[in-house]
Structure 1
Amino acid sequence: MVFKCVHCGYKVNSLFIQYSPGNIRLMKCENCKEVADEYIECEIMKAYSHLLFNTRDNVDFEVFVDVILLNIIFVSVLLLATSIMLTSLTEITRVKDILLAIIVSSYFKIFLVAMMIWEFPSSVPCVVDVLVLSSNAVALRVVTQSTIARCILVCFSAHATKFLANQMLRH
């Protein structure tokens, strides 16, 4: 695995040496002489540096394509279902309003980033999905002025289609 210093981005061979369980020594960067990644065991402030530089070797291109494809499927189904079940999407500003509402109301997904750093129960992604779904439905209701039941149905359709597409890509 390739690691990088969170201070200067220089490649380092390892982040720490483990002498025994719970007894480690953090490695210093050869370039800037700082501890390469002191955040592997502590603070949130630089957790993003740790996540971006040192949790993955490289982002697999296939994973990137899958994420983009799944989000295109989600947005397409959401817009199609919205135009069928809620309102007419004749104005481009209406599409922009709906997309903005969905992006802003998906803020709970930030908790999934924390799962890459710290361990959480396996039920947490399900809870986050339910929170995102309900928040998306409320935001869609605000933008479309439709009933909450219809908005939940539209959002559920888009989320379910994305989930099924994800399952198909995994197999």
Structure 2
Amino acid sequence: MGKDVFRCVECNEKATELHRDYSNGILKITICESCQKPVDKYIEYDPVIILIDAILCKSQAFRHILFNSSLNIHWKLCVFFLLCEAYLRWSLLHGSEHSSDPADIIRYTKEWEFYGMFALAALELAAFCGGVLLCLWLVVVRLKGGTVEFRLLLRALLLSCYGKVLLIPTVIWEHDYSPLCLGLIKLFVLTSNSQAIRVILNSSRHISVMAVFVGLLSEGCVSQICKRLPWTIQDMLAFQ
């Protein structure tokens, strides 16, 4: 990697290297010139520890993942998250239908309605990301004259949706408190999105919260528009 591509996980200052490799396999972690702390302490940590800190929404862990790692699976994770969301909606659609016949299970797995739910989930995610990026463009670029790396920001938004994986066990272990769990998962994902935006822009919390709110509002508008259309994807697939 080139120079000035790393960031100190403590103060967000740029760094040219994370560690220096001496002879005989001896590595020395680089010390940040600004805060006099290790540039990235997480290079010595186990991935499980990094994951726990990311779940706790620690900015240091987010900086390590977004700036100092070569993790480039955000599009694959995006598809997986959309599948989780589609499965949740599809299961709720057929939640009242119970059958012990294996043929019914096979028939349901082949239903086109699942692909319709996937398309709707993808459309809402696109509306959310578009609303966030538009809000940040208006506030940061147009009003404050700053710069925004939209490609890096989009990657951060997709990676910070990792909490949607919890949708699957929520559906599998159905319980009376499932709606509450789904609400908490949504809140956790939005909190992670806000923290990711804050880390990328190195800005105050109110800007990231406002951007997430605008994205959520955009997602809700698209969802309501799809419901009020005279035709829906579900209706179209019903004729297949």
Same fold per superposition (TM over 0.5):
yes
Local SS of the residue matching 2:185:
helix
Rounded to whole Å, the distance in 1 between the matches of 2:164 and 2:140 is 25
Q: Quick one: which amino acid aligns to residue 153 of structure 2?
A: I
Post-superposition offset of 1:65: 2.2
Tell me the number of residue pairs that the alignment of Structure 1 and Structure 2 aligns. 122
Post-superposition offset of 1:137: 0.6
Q: For residue 45 of structure 1, what is the aligned residue in structure 2?
A: none
TM-score normalised over the length of structure 2? 0.45
Percentage of matched positions with identical amino acids? 21
Q: For residue 158 of structure 2, what is the aligned residue in structure 1?
A: 103
Show CA shifts across 1:80-110 (max 9, x none). Answer: 011112346867xx11210111111111111
Q: For residue 20 of structure 1, what is the aligned residue in structure 2?
A: none
Q: For residue 44 of structure 1, what is the aligned residue in structure 2?
A: none
Rounded to whole Å, the distance in 2 between the matches of 1:145 and 1:54 is 50
Residues 19-98 of structure 1 aligned to structure 2 (within 5 Å):
56-60=109-113, 61-87=115-141, 94-98=149-153
Q: Quick one: which amino acid aligns to residue 134 of structure 2?
A: L
Contact kept? 1:106, 1:135, Cα under 8 Å? yes
Rounded to whole Å, the distance in 1 between the matches of 2:201 and 2:162 is 20
The runs of 5 or more residues in structure 2 that have no matched partner are 1-100, 229-240
Q: For residue 68 of structure 2, what is the aligned residue in structure 1?
A: none
Show CA shifts across 1:91-138 (max 9, x none). Answer: 7xx112101111111111111122232214211111111111111111
Q: For residue 22 of structure 1, what is the aligned residue in structure 2?
A: none
The runs of 5 or more residues in structure 1 that have no matched partner are 1-12, 16-49
What is the RMSD computed on CA atoms of the aligned residues?
2.8
Contact kept? 1:83, 1:89, Cα under 8 Å? no
Post-superposition offset of 1:141: 0.5
**Normalized per residue, which structure has more helix?**
2
Contact kept? 1:89, 1:95, Cα under 8 Å? no
Contact kept? 1:70, 1:166, Cα under 8 Å? yes
Q: For residue 203 of structure 2, what is the aligned residue in structure 1?
A: 146
Q: For residue 158 of structure 1, what is the aligned residue in structure 2?
A: 215
Q: Quick one: which amino acid aligns to residue 84 of structure 1?
A: L
Q: Does 1:116 align with 2:171?
A: yes
Q: Quick one: which amino acid aligns to residue 150 of structure 1?
A: I
TM-score normalised over the length of structure 1? 0.61
Rounded to whole Å, the distance in 2 between the matches of 1:167 and 1:66 is 11
